[in-house]
Structure 1
């Protein structure tokens, strides 16, 4: 209302120039608006890129486990007795068959002497000094020979009495007596043979008793066991290490009491549990790399020796045994170890720079540049090395992945590729020249 009043106050002649100026001002405002819109449009994001590489990698299954001795045995006493001497203690190295502990042999020696005397008494009945190694003829036993002689004499008497009786010169009673004597001599010979056979059997039983007594005497010397088979890959002599001493000198032992615990340190067995999903990948003979905390910079080579055919229904894992050579004794039985079971040496993987992978809110992805725009691809990471990482996903083999600037990107964001900045070398520092006072005077 005020404007119209002001318009009419000025009149047509005064208002016309003003209206024209206002129209020109309105036209000027409309032409400036598109220019502002162009200036506020998003600019392409500068990024650096790197090509996806295809490299051969080794596929491994990472596991942990416990190192155990190839043989871990607690040596016990086969006989009872008092400990006379302990020859080795914890930490000693002993060879198979080496003497470990001695028991008092007095009782064993007496038992051997008693059994030997009984054997001598039985052999004396047979007229022998020792048991024959071949089959023995009891007809040579003196008692049997004596019975045979008596039988022959009885037979001769019967023959003489029968001859006299046929000629009517002998009495019938004498013939019957001689025949009875012959029957008695025959029975005596059979009894002598049976007695000789029984004496021979008793001699052999007594000889076994002597052997038992001798073995009991031998058992008073407790020795390291002798393995029936040599571990695979071990060329030198097997050696035991004393892991624990369980007796003291003067102690009374019963049969079966433990005396020392021994362990074979080379090679060792690594027992580990592998998830069931890897059951088709693990095979006997596969190489295994073992690492322990006490030698962090070293890797020990082993091989899969045995695979348990059954799966634990609770943990859904199966047991794998790895043979680990330990010639220098750096590994300790009972220690904790990490292992990598090498399942494939010739696998091919997509490798990208490690800085190209973005992880956010549980999602792992990277960006590729296609026709000047960024596209995100969800991936899974695998093996990792110095400056690189393996990725698995719908990733083109010849793709260019964004290595810097990806935090500012989203799908379809325009990008411009720039070259990575090269660190400029510092210019050489030159010493300033001291002005000559004579020249300043000039």
Structure 2
């Protein structure tokens, strides 16, 4: 009743104005609601902070494992194989007998040389060859020539004395002088002959040594390495890789017999790109992996670096010393290696799932003031669940780990907490047809 009177008092014009005002207010509210409904909703994402963490800088290479020494033992003399003592896969020590040749010819050669040596000693009147400087004037033949020279000199002196007293003939004096000259020449010849005989005795003695060495060469043994590998203090052992002869086979000088290899330590030969010349130094640690033991890492050390770069491949060779005490690695095998060049580098680390790669571009999203912003990055070292990135990242930046596929620059986001991981389901191990123990 009061409102009706008020409207009546205002008149029809006032009522119309009021109705128009109320209609305008209702239209504005509808537009605001429509705009709110059509505006993009914030994308729910999860984030993780960027971590600064020390990482190891490595140079990745591949190469071939080689034995410390790989040698093919050959035959020094001609002969027939009498017995083979070892075959492929056997382990032998330095000096151990590998193959025997028939020693009959070598024994006969030794006997022949010894007989010739004894004959030369007999000419000199000796039982053994003197080791020190020998005076040949003490030999019987030289003494005999010297005595003859002394007798000739005495005859010359007597004939001269007789000739001075007029009691001797001139012809007798000349004959005595000629005898003296002949005795002098005979003494010199005796000395030369003794020296030649002594030289022949020494030559035949060398022939005896040669024949005895040939006899020793009928026993072919594993060689002794010239030096022990670095860090190895125990006894070296060879492994037989290949046997090339059989019993009864005739061999010539230089024919291969058995191939041997030292299995521990091994040498890893790898080619490193030229750009890493300033990073690789002797003594750096190396991690080696092989396909036959995928879950294991073998430690090695850079032992040698080739000072020359290959002009064709633009690489230089590095030798890595790899201990193989357990015998798990095989010479000739393929290996991957990581050479540790720096252990103290600090890098920005993010979860690996935060990195987005599309059309050759690598980027990630960071959350700033409730909005997403993309940053182009480059990746580096990678580990279990993490990866190194370089780019314009703030120290306290938070990167998006889920929801990146719905994001673009300036997209509104809402950060949600990651869902807890659900426990793994219990898998029954009961076999088909066997009642579950829990139901008994």
Is TM-score (shorter-chain normalized) higher than 0.5? yes
Match of 1:350 among 323, 348, 352: 348
Aligned partner of 1:439 in structure 2 is: none
Aligned partner of 1:235 in structure 2 is: 233
The CA deviation string for residues 40-90 of structure 1, in whole angstroms up to 9 with x for no partner, is 122322222211111111111222211111100000000000001111111
Deviation at 1:34, TM superposition (A): 4.7
Aligned partner of 2:117 in structure 1 is: 119
Larger deviation: 249-258 or 302-311? 302-311
Aligned partner of 1:11 in structure 2 is: none
Aligned partner of 2:154 in structure 1 is: 156
Aligned partner of 1:147 in structure 2 is: 145
Aligned partner of 1:286 in structure 2 is: 284
SS in 2 for 1:348: strand
Question: Would the alpha carbon gap of residues 382 and 133 (structure 1) be closer, same or farther in structure 2, given more than 3 Å must change?
Answer: same
Aligned partner of 1:309 in structure 2 is: 307
SS in 2 for 1:183: helix
Larger deviation: 407-416 or 299-308? 407-416
Match of 1:98 among 74, 93, 96: 96
| RMSD between aligned residues | 2.2
Q: Unaligned regions of 5+ residues in structure 1, if any?
A: 1-20, 426-442
Please give the alpha-carbon distance, in whole angstroms, between the structure 2 residues aligned to 1:85 and 1:344: 56
SS in 1 for 2:308: coil
Match of 2:366 among 368, 371, 374: 368
Please give the alpha-carbon distance, in whole angstroms, between the structure 1 residues aligned to 2:74 and 2:288: 34
Q: Unaligned regions of 5+ residues in structure 2, if any?
A: 1-18, 424-440
The CA deviation string for residues 86-127 of structure 1, in whole angstroms up to 9 with x for no partner, is 111111111111111111111111111111111111111111
Aligned partner of 2:10 in structure 1 is: none
Please give the alpha-carbon distance, in whole angstroms, between the structure 1 residues aligned to 2:28 and 2:199: 135
SS in 2 for 1:201: helix
Match of 2:47 among 41, 46, 49: 49
Please give the alpha-carbon distance, in whole angstroms, between the structure 2 residues aligned to 1:154 and 1:352: 115
Aligned partner of 2:375 in structure 1 is: 377
Please give the alpha-carbon distance, in whole angstroms, between the structure 2 residues aligned to 1:121 and 1:128: 10
SS in 1 for 2:154: helix
Give 4+ residue runs of structure 1 displaced > 6 Å after superposition.
Answer: 21-28
Aligned partner of 2:435 in structure 1 is: none
Deviation at 1:205, TM superposition (A): 1.2
Please give the alpha-carbon distance, in whole angstroms, between the structure 1 residues aligned to 2:421 and 2:165: 150
Summarize the alignment of residues 254-265 of structure 1 with structure 2, pairs less than 5 Å apart.
254-265=252-263
Question: Would the alpha carbon gap of residues 423 and 78 (structure 1) be closer, same or farther in structure 2, given more than 3 Å must change?
Answer: closer
Deviation at 1:28, TM superposition (A): 6.4
SS in 2 for 1:285: coil
Q: Does 1:67 align with 2:56?
A: no
SS in 2 for 1:123: helix
Deviation at 1:259, TM superposition (A): 0.5
Match of 2:316 among 315, 318, 330: 318
Please give the alpha-carbon distance, in whole angstroms, between the structure 1 residues aligned to 2:22 and 2:46: 49
SS in 1 for 2:257: strand
Please give the alpha-carbon distance, in whole angstroms, between the structure 2 residues aligned to 1:252 and 1:179: 68
SS in 1 for 2:377: strand
Question: Would the alpha carbon gap of residues 297 and 30 (structure 1) be closer, same or farther in structure 2, given more than 3 Å must change?
Answer: closer
Please give the alpha-carbon distance, in whole angstroms, between the structure 2 residues aligned to 1:339 and 1:31: 70
Aligned partner of 1:214 in structure 2 is: 212
Aligned partner of 2:174 in structure 1 is: 176
Q: Does 1:128 align with 2:126?
A: yes
Please give the alpha-carbon distance, in whole angstroms, between the structure 2 residues aligned to 1:57 and 1:325: 26
Deviation at 1:23, TM superposition (A): 12
Q: State the aligned residue count.
A: 408
The CA deviation string for residues 170-217 of structure 1, in whole angstroms up to 9 with x for no partner, is 111111111111111111111111111111111111111111111111
Please give the alpha-carbon distance, in whole angstroms, between the structure 1 residues aligned to 2:150 and 2:321: 78
Please give the alpha-carbon distance, in whole angstroms, between the structure 1 residues aligned to 2:108 and 2:182: 44
Please give the alpha-carbon distance, in whole angstroms, between the structure 2 residues aligned to 1:244 and 1:69: 14
Q: TM-score, normalised by structure 1?
A: 0.88
Please give the alpha-carbon distance, in whole angstroms, between the structure 1 residues aligned to 2:242 and 2:235: 22
Q: TM-score, normalised by structure 2?
A: 0.88
Match of 2:405 among 404, 407, 410: 407
Aligned partner of 1:300 in structure 2 is: 298
Deviation at 1:424, TM superposition (A): 8.5
Deviation at 1:270, TM superposition (A): 0.9
Deviation at 1:370, TM superposition (A): 1.7
Please give the alpha-carbon distance, in whole angstroms, between the structure 2 residues aligned to 1:302 and 1:175: 96
SS in 1 for 2:157: helix
Q: Does 1:420 align with 2:439?
A: no
Please give the alpha-carbon distance, in whole angstroms, between the structure 2 residues aligned to 1:301 and 1:34: 69
The CA deviation string for residues 372-429 of structure 1, in whole angstroms up to 9 with x for no partner, is 221111112222222222112221121111122222111122222222234699xxxx
Aligned partner of 2:224 in structure 1 is: 226
Aligned partner of 2:12 in structure 1 is: none
Please give the alpha-carbon distance, in whole angstroms, between the structure 1 residues aligned to 2:121 and 2:29: 140
